[in-house]
Amino acid sequence: MTQAVTNYAVVLYELGIAKEIILEADRILHIEPKLKQILESPIVSKKKKNAIVEKVFPMELHSFLKTVCRFQAISEIEAIFDAYKKYEKQKNKILEAKLTYVTKPNEEQVEEIKTALKNKYQMKQVELSFEEDPELLGGFIIHTMDYELDWSIRGKLEQLQQKLVRR
């Protein structure tokens, strides 16, 4: 992600536009990929691009999208929307984490994991996604931000192998 993408995402967040409106614009671009091609095209005039933006997108986003088009950054619009979502979660103290497991934990264990992550990162909420991976042999791995906690049997075996190789 480039600094420009991050800057656009922060500006979009600071505009105070409802999240639902931004998600709707993102959805529009995903269901109609030719729309982005038109807005990227150097052949299409600024006036036509502005008219398309006004016709297709929610009014609250007109100024932002026209600016993105004017500075020829529309090719990065999906990345801008993704960065916006991440920034919005960060500002609202929502942590995204992924739990990779062999045996899915019960609700009590999930709540303990969420509580531990909330405390570690001082977050209000944890959005935990799950992925089954039988190759772990047992245990689990938690992935989030800059952190990976590997409590899998495969991970323990790899650590043991590294210790033995160093001797």
Burial class of residue 92 (count of CB atoms within 10 Å of its CB; 0-12, 13-18, 19+) = exposed
Mean pLDDT of the chain: 93
**Rg over CA atoms, the chain:** 22
DSSP string, 45-88: -HHHHHHHHHHHS-GGGHHHHHHHHHTT-GGGHHHHHHHHHHHH
CA atoms within 13 A on the CB side of 155: 15
Q: Which of 107, 129, 125 is nearest to 117 (CA)?
A: 125
State residue 30 phi and psi, 5-degree precision: -75, -35
pLDDT digits (tens, 9 = 90+) for 21-33: 999 999 999 999 8
pLDDT digits (tens, 9 = 90+) for 56-76: 999 999 999 999 999 999 999
Are 129 and 98 in contact by the 8 Å Cβ rule? The answer is: yes
| Stretch 132-141: mean pLDDT | 90
Does residue 146 surpass a pLDDT of 80?
A: no
CATH number of 94-166: 3.40.30
The pLDDT, as a whole number, for residue 156 is: 85
Which residue ranges make up each domain of the chain? 3-89, 94-166
**Span 103-135, pLDDT tens digits:** 999 999 999 999 999 999 999 999 999 999 998
Spatial separation of the C-alpha atoms in residues 96 and 16, rounded to whole Å: 22
Give the CA angle between residues 60, 90, 151 to the nearest 5°. Answer: 145
Find tokens 């929610």 and name the residue.
58
Q: How far apart are the first and last CA of the chain?
A: 41
